[in-house]
Amino acid sequence: MTKQLDHQALKDFTRRYTALWTEADPQARSRQVAELWAPAGAQVLVDPPEAVRNAATALAFPVPRLEVRGHDEIERRVTRAYAMFVEPGVHTFKAAGDAVLLAPALIGYGWQMVTVADRTVAGGGYDVMVLDDNGRILLNHQHIAPI
């Protein structure tokens, strides 16, 4: 059974999860993925971008489920997000408050993508994560808020 997370554990989770998405060093990023996610953990993008939804609809497919599973795929996902949004120096990610315990082993985490120059919010979302008995992410449903 998963241990009950206290306020400090949630603050620590918030710090570590946010740091992952802004980590420049590939080896450190890889270690962070392994520390945060269970080996078979997954991230599901609940609401794919409009262009993806439109392309699928045009081909008579239902809205596709976008999922990465396992450390290698999650690491590629995090690395790509870093390369697209953080590495160019235009944006960074930050927590929108501390993670919250929604139920035992269920965490909610709000986040924002902000411009580096003036800290205006350029996007954001909310992740709902199921943790394993070791406190690692088994399943992360990521909801991206419209800009």
Task: Label residue 58 by pLDDT band (50, 70, 90).
Answer: confident
pLDDT tens string 79-112: 999 999 999 999 999 999 999 999 999 999 999 9
Tell me the C-alpha distance between 93 and 18, whole Å. Answer: 7
Q: Between the CA of residue 146 and those of 49, 81, 84, what are the distances in Å?
A: 9, 17, 18
The second-level CATH assignment, the architecture, of 7-145 is Roll (3.10)
Domain locations in the chain? Answer: 7-145
pLDDT mean across residues, the chain? 91
- pLDDT of 52 over the 90 cut: no
Other CB atoms within 10 Å distance of the CB of residue 4: 9
> Considering only 20-34, 62-76, 125-139, which range has the smallest mean pLDDT?
62-76
Task: Label residue 1 by pLDDT band (50, 70, 90).
Answer: very low
- pLDDT of 3 over the 70 cut: no
- pLDDT of 119 over the 70 cut: yes
Q: 91 and 122 in contact (C-beta within 8 Å)?
A: yes
Per-residue three-class SS string for 52-76:
HHHHHHHCCCCCCCEEEEHHHHHHH
Instruction: Give the pLDDT score at 136.
Output: 96
Q: 86 and 114 in contact (C-beta within 8 Å)?
A: no
Residue range 27-48: mean pLDDT, rounded: 94
Joined together, the tokens standing for residue 1 give 């059974």
> Considering only 21-25, 55-59, 91-95, which range has the smallest mean pLDDT?
55-59
